[in-house]
Amino acid sequence: MTEEQEDTLVAYEIMSRISPPPANCPSCDSLLPSNLGELDCVVCSAKVRVEHEPTRHDWLNEKVTCPACRHVLVAGTDVRPADLRCASCRHEFTLSPKVIKVEIKCPACERGLRITQRPGERNLKCPACQEGFRVTF
């Protein structure tokens, strides 16, 4: 009866469950970072202002579970990342922006791969056939 795997490590960072709708750079059409406000296009370094009221509203009211004591608190801030403190146990942690994962297909063997959607260009290697290829978002 040892159920300790949850209590041994306390996280200092948890991920938001809400992400803004994907936005593209108006000058080069690359994917912008998944956030709101003044964003830097990683491809052409343009500064782009992205706003989305429903996401701000949802971020403000997002319920998060304290990783230390499981107390549920309301984020109370409409920016991500946000530094939060649990009202119950005083544990401090960061609520980071949601990381978006996408399915892509290896161009050589067509195996489905799940990767983090990060703006810009990236070199990948297929774990199945070892073929190197490039993705751009």
**Which residues of the chain form contacts with Zn ion (CB under 5 A)?**
25, 27-28, 30, 41, 43-44, 46, 66, 68-69, 71, 86, 88-89, 91, 106, 108-109, 111, 126, 128-129, 131
- In angstroms, the CA 53 to CA 22 distance is 14
Quote the least distance from Cβ 126 to Zn ion, whole Å.
3
Nearest to 10 by CA among 69, 98, 52, 76: 69
Q: Are the C-beta atoms of residues 42 and 33 closer than 8 Å to each other?
A: yes
Quote the least distance from Cβ 131 to Zn ion, whole Å.
5
Q: Are the C-beta atoms of residues 47 and 38 closer than 8 Å to each other?
A: yes
DSSP one-letter code for 80 = S
Quote the least distance from Cβ 95 to Zn ion, whole Å.
13
Choose between 57 and 90: whose C-beta lies nearer to Zn ion: 90
Quote the least distance from Cβ 49 to Zn ion, whole Å.
13
Alpha-carbon distances, residue 122 vs 47, 119, 134 (angstroms): 21, 9, 6
Q: How many helices (H) and strands (E) does the chain have?
A: 1, 11
Choose between 102 and 109: whose C-beta lies nearer to Zn ion: 109
Choose between 54 and 130: whose C-beta lies nearer to Zn ion: 130
Choose between 99 and 108: whose C-beta lies nearer to Zn ion: 108
